[in-house]
Structure 1
Amino acid sequence: MRRADRLFRIVQLLRGRRLSTAAWIAEKLEVSARTVYRDVADLQAQGVPIDGEAGVGYRLTGGFDLPPLMFTTLEAQALVAAVRLAQSRLDRELALAAEDALGKIIGVLPPAARAAAEALPLYAAPWAKDPVSIERLGVLREAASMRRRIRFDYEDAQGAATSRIARPLGCYNWEAVWTLAAWCEHRTAFRSFRIDRMRTLDVLDEVYRDEPGRTLPDFLRQVRREWPARASSP
């Protein structure tokens, strides 16, 4: 990779994250951390507003942007593949938005790149949708974004029914099903709920605030701690 391309890529990596360590950037670019330190210092000297320091992490300050980007043929194909794979699994509103966004991107590509992207020989078989679950996915996605508590009746794998109030944190696709990661007010603990096992769903007017120990990053840290034990159990 040319140095100019590497500097440009660093800016792209920084603009997509709140904080990026030199080690993470170095891994993405397949260079040493020392090279990243030197490149970031050069970008700062050229007036790119990068805050942070070695050993802590870097971020772009607000208001900085670059001219519209042009995608390579492979990048355009990756976008087409991502939309094709995800579209049948998304709620209708998000699926239509993904199709519209892809159309806008494809429309501004050079003819050769556009033809290569549209002719990508990679497709996803239609997914057997559960219309109720897909509709609830959109409701839960929006509730999580707006930090709104939810109330729902749930039936577990053994058929036991419970009523829950929870803080929706994020939705995860496991090929056959969608699950909701949430902080369950009933259990005062993190729980994952299969969306297709929700029998009712209401979004409450109550807005919750992120609290230490009850956020999505906390949920993910707990999953990472527990996963080795689960994977090794018979």
Structure 2
Amino acid sequence: MNRIDRLSAILIQLQGKKIVKAAEISERFNISLRTVYRDVRALQEAGVPIGAEAGTGYYLVEGYHLPPVMFSREEAAALLTGEKLMANLSDHSNRKEFSNAMQKIKAVLRGSEKDFLESLEDNIAVVSRRPPVGEEFPNRFLSDIQYALGKQQMLQLDYFAMHSETLTKREVEPIGIIYTSGNWHLIAWCRLRHGYRDFRMDRIKNVSVSADSYDKTRHITLKEYMDRYGEYEAQAHMVKLRFPRAFARRIGDQKFYYGLVEEQAVGECIEMTFLAPCLEWFGRWLLVWGSVPEIISPAELADKMKELALEIKQHYL
């Protein structure tokens, strides 16, 4: 990148945040701190009102705005790809907001870039392996949760716990959101349980943002949570099952709801791999299929199935 382009990019970066540290600029453009100081000084000499706080960073003086930003063809294509991803991986609330933002972005594109995007529109697709979330839990709260995170405000949830099949009311202090294994998760301090909890957002029936605020400095960061509790998906149990090929078709879309991550043909069978957050909950679903599935791993699941089968036998005796 030549210096003129870099100066323009630094100016855009300054407008994007309240305070930008010199180290952030250095890391982004792979330049030395001395070069950062020279570039900022050059912008100031050109009349850009850049202020500095010792030990904190640079900022643009309140009221200064850049003219509308123009996007390159590659940047426009990247934004279109992002829109396709949002349509499949986000929830109803964010889909609408991102779509509105994209309309504004497309409005400032040059004619040639608009034509390019239109020709590209039908040639990018994102296919999710998971079926859409049912309307019983509409999963439209991502925007509300993001607002609460930004404003440090409490959230009140009506949350459906799958393992106990009960709806509980929770008052939580959010620390972050994670997208993993096909679902969004809210990580928060739960006042009911007096500890950090993982709430799958498609199991949240209702959300309200409380007027009460909380002090986020009392909590660990999202990164600290993930580091402390290990690799995020490692919290789930890796389950491998084998079904006769002809029988596997009967399972249909249920396998997606129970955490399917992979399936492959093995001889006359279909081997399925799941990430199960709770072996008992997973085992109760497995009972539906009787003696048909073969449990490859883990051994704890086979033990759990014996317990569940004995429980049913004793119930009907």
Name the TM-score class by shorter chain.
Answer: 0.7 to 0.9
Q: State the superposition RMSD in angstroms.
A: 3.2
The letter for the 1-side match of 2:71 is F
Report the secondary structure of 2:71's partner residue.
Answer: coil
Q: 2:182 aligns with which of 166, 176, 201?
A: 176
Contact 2:173 2:214 in 1 (8 A): no
Q: 2:126 aligns with which of 124, 127, 149?
A: 124
Q: Which residue pairs with 1:114 in the alignment?
A: 114
Q: Which residue pairs with 1:191 in the alignment?
A: 197
Q: Which residue pairs with 1:77 in the alignment?
A: 77
Structure showing greater relative contact order (alpha-carbon pairs closer than 8 Å, 6 or more residues apart): 1
TM-score (norm 2): 0.61
* Matches of 2:232 and 2:78, distance apart in 1: 33
Residues 92-132 of structure 1: CA deviation (Å, up to 9, x unaligned)? 34323322332332243223222222333432115622142
| Pairing of 1:89-104 with structure 2 (within 5 A) | 89-104=89-104
Report the secondary structure of 2:139's partner residue.
Answer: helix
* Matches of 1:230 and 1:56, distance apart in 2: 33
The letter for the 1-side match of 2:186 is L
Report the secondary structure of 1:44's partner residue.
Answer: helix
Bigger shift: residues 30-39 or 222-231: 222-231
1:34 Cα deviation from its structure 2 partner: 1.4
* Matches of 2:209 and 2:74, distance apart in 1: 44
1:163 Cα deviation from its structure 2 partner: 4.3
* Matches of 2:207 and 2:2, distance apart in 1: 53
* Matches of 2:176 and 2:230, distance apart in 1: 22
Bigger shift: residues 105-114 or 29-38: 105-114
1:69 Cα deviation from its structure 2 partner: 1.1
Q: 1:134 aligns with which of 114, 139, 150?
A: 139
1:164 Cα deviation from its structure 2 partner: 2.3
| Pairing of 1:1-234 with structure 2 (within 5 A) | 1-52=1-52, 56-120=56-120, 121-126=123-128, 128-130=131-133, 131=135, 132-144=137-149, 147-155=153-161, 158-159=163-164, 163-198=169-204, 200-203=205-208, 205-214=210-219, 218-223=220-225, 225-226=227-228
* Matches of 1:169 and 1:227, distance apart in 2: 14
* Matches of 1:229 and 1:106, distance apart in 2: 38
Residues 151-186 of structure 1: CA deviation (Å, up to 9, x unaligned)? 334416x43755421123443322511111222222
1:39 Cα deviation from its structure 2 partner: 0.7
TM-score (norm 1): 0.80
Unaligned runs of 5+ in 2: 236-317
1:28 Cα deviation from its structure 2 partner: 1.3
The size of the alignment, in residue pairs, is 229
1:4 Cα deviation from its structure 2 partner: 1.8
1:229 Cα deviation from its structure 2 partner: 7.5
1:72 Cα deviation from its structure 2 partner: 0.6
Report the secondary structure of 1:119's partner residue.
Answer: helix
Q: Percent identity?
A: 31
Q: Which has the larger radius of gyration?
A: 2
Contact 2:106 2:114 in 1 (8 A): yes
1:55 Cα deviation from its structure 2 partner: 5.4
* Matches of 1:33 and 1:72, distance apart in 2: 28
The letter for the 2-side match of 1:80 is L
1:86 Cα deviation from its structure 2 partner: 0.8
1:78 Cα deviation from its structure 2 partner: 1.0
Report the secondary structure of 1:125's partner residue.
Answer: coil
1:63 Cα deviation from its structure 2 partner: 1.4
* Matches of 1:104 and 1:230, distance apart in 2: 36
